[in-house]
Structure 1
Amino acid sequence: MLTTLLSPTRLGILLALVLLPLWRWLPRWLRLLAMLPLVACVLASLPVVANQLVRWQESRVPARNLCSPPLPSTIVVLSGGISREPRDAGDFAALGEYSLRRLFAAVDRFEAHSDGRLVISGGEGQYGIAESALMGALAQRLGVPSGAISLETASRSTWQNAQFVRALAIPQRIGLVTSALHLPRAIYAFEQTGFEVCAWPADSRYAGPNSIGYYLPSSSALDKSDAAIHEMVGEAAYRMGWLRSTTRDPWAGADER
C-alpha cells in the first residue's frame, strides 16, 4: 500500500478510478483538491522535473563521506535486484541492471587494492536464491579471488544490509558502493550501525536537457520520479525510526534496494 501511495503513476491511476464514477456528484472544492495529485502525476512524467528530483537526491551525499586517501580496502556493495528467476546460484545472467552496475563499479574499486576485500550484501528475493550469491559468482568470473569475497545473504532491505554486514566483523571504515540515487539512504543506514562510510556511487540516473523531448511527458521520467520519491521518503522513514525491525520494507524494491 505504501509503495502505491509513493508512486505518481499508481497514485494517479488509482485516484482516477475512484473519482471517475463519482465526478458529477463531487462539489467543486473537492474536484479541485482531487486534481492536485493528477497534476503532480503529470509533472512527474516530465523529464525536466524527474531529472531535477534525481539530481537533488543524488547530490545529498554529505561532504564527510567523499573519499579521501588512504582509501579503504574493504568494499561493500549492495545488490539491486534480479530480472528473472535464476536457474541456480551461478546463473549471474539473471542479475538486474542495478546489481550489475554496482558490482562492476565495486570490482573496479577492488582491483586498486592488492589486499582488498569485497563484501557483497543482498538476501533471497522471491526466487529463493540470494542476490549476493549471484553477484559473487560474477565477481569471481571477473577475476576477484573467491578468498577475497564475503557474502551477506540474509538481508532484504537497506537497513538490514547495514545490520547484517556489521555482524561480519569487518573494519569500521568501508567503501560503500551502490547507485547514486540510493547512496544517501544507504549511508545513513550504515552510519547508524557504526561504520565510517566512504561513498562510491556506481551510476547516476540524472540526465541533462538534450532535445525537445526533455520537456514532454515520458514513461521513463515517471520511473525516475518514482525512484527519487521512494528514496526520499524511505530515508525519512528510517530517520524517524520506522521499518527498522521489519523483515522487509516497501522501499526495498526489485531494482532499487
Structure 2
Amino acid sequence: LLSPLRFGVLLALLLVLTWRRLPRGLRYLASLPLIGCVLSSLPVVANLLVGIAESRFPSAQTCAVPLPQTIVVLGGGISRQPVDAADVDSLGETSLRRVIGAADLYRAHEPARLVISGGTSQYGVAESSLMAALAQRLGVPAATITVETESHSTWQNARFVAALEPLIDRRIWLVTSALHMPRSIYAFEQAGFEVCAWPTDSRLGHANSIGYYLPSIGALDKSDAVIHEWLGEAAYRMGWLRSVSRDPWSGGDER
C-alpha cells in the first residue's frame, strides 16, 4: 500500500464502487490522493522528488583528511536464483552498480579494506558473497575483502558490520545508491560510525523530450522508491523496525 501505483488503483476501484453514495464534499476530498498518484506518475515530479532525496547528504569532497581506508558497500538485491556463490550475473542492477562504485573507490584508495554487507537471500546464497566474487573480478584482492552475511535490512547492515571481528575502523566510506544514502548514513551513525558518503546509482533524470511531462511507469517507480526511503528513514528515527528481522522498507533493489 506504500506504492503510489497500488494505492492509486485500489483507491480508484473504491471510488468507482462507492461514488454515488459519497457526499459531494467527500468526493472532492477522496480525489486528492488520486491527483497525487497522477502527479507522481509524471517524470518532472518524480525527478523533483528524487533530486530532493538524493541531495540530503554531504558530498565526498567534504570528507575530512585523512580519508578513510575502510569501504563498506551495501547489498542491493539479486535478480534471479544464483547457480552458486560465484554466479555474479544473478546480481540485481543496483548491486552491480554498487560493487562497481566500490571497486572504483578501492582503486583510488588502495590499499584499503572492502566490507560487503548483505545477508542470505531466499535462494540460499548471500548477496554479499556474490558481490565479493564480482569485486574480485574487478581487481579487488580477495585478502582485502570481508563479507557480512546475516543482515536483511539497512539497520542490520550497520549493526552487524559494527560487530564484525576483527573490528573495522569506525571511520568509513559508505557505498550505496544515492537515493538510499540518507537512511544508510543515519543507520551507520547510530551504530557508531563516522561516514563519508560515496553514492552510486543515481536515479535523477532531466528533461530531454516531451515525454518528461507525460505519465510513465518509470516515474511511478521513482516516486515509489522515494516514498519508501522517506518512510523507512522516518521509521528508524522514531525507533520502529530496528529489531525486526526484515522490515517492509528492505525489499527489492532499495534495501
- For this structure pair, what is the TM-score category when the shorter chain's length is used for normalisation? over 0.9
Per-residue deviation at 1:59? 0.5
Matched, 1:78 2:74: yes
1:19 to 1, 12, 15: 15
Amino acid at match of 2:215: P
Unaligned runs of 5+ in 2: none
Q: Comparing 201-210 with 52-61, which one deviates more in the overlay?
A: 201-210
1:223 to 221, 224, 229: 221
* Matching of residues 180-191 of structure 1 within 5 Å: 180-191=178-189
**TM-score (structure 2 length as normaliser):** 0.96
Aligned length in residues:
253
Per-residue deviation at 1:179? 0.5
**TM-score (structure 1 length as normaliser):** 0.95
1:245 to 225, 243, 248: 243
1:110-154 CA-to-partner distances (Å, cap 9, x unmatched) read: 112332110000012221211101101111111211110000000
Amino acid at match of 2:229: E
Percent of aligned positions that are identical? 68
Per-residue deviation at 1:67? 2.3
1:27-79 CA-to-partner distances (Å, cap 9, x unmatched) read: 11221121111100000000010000000000010479942332211000001
Aligned partner of 2:253 in structure 1 is: 255
Matched, 1:36 2:21: no
Report if the CA contact (8 A) 2:60-2:198 is conserved.
Answer: no
- Cα RMSD of the aligned pairs, angstroms, is 1.4
Aligned partner of 1:194 in structure 2 is: 192
- The change in CA–CA distance for 1:63 and 1:114 in structure 2 (over 3 A counts) is closer
Matched, 1:154 2:188: no
Unaligned runs of 5+ in 1: none
1:177-230 CA-to-partner distances (Å, cap 9, x unmatched) read: 001100000000000010000000012111121111111111100000000111
Q: Comparing 66-75 with 244-253, which one deviates more in the overlay?
A: 66-75
Per-residue deviation at 1:238? 0.5
Aligned partner of 2:205 in structure 1 is: 207
C-alpha separation in 1, matches of 2:62 and 2:184: 14
* Matching of residues 104-123 of structure 1 within 5 Å: 104-123=100-119
Aligned partner of 2:49 in structure 1 is: 53
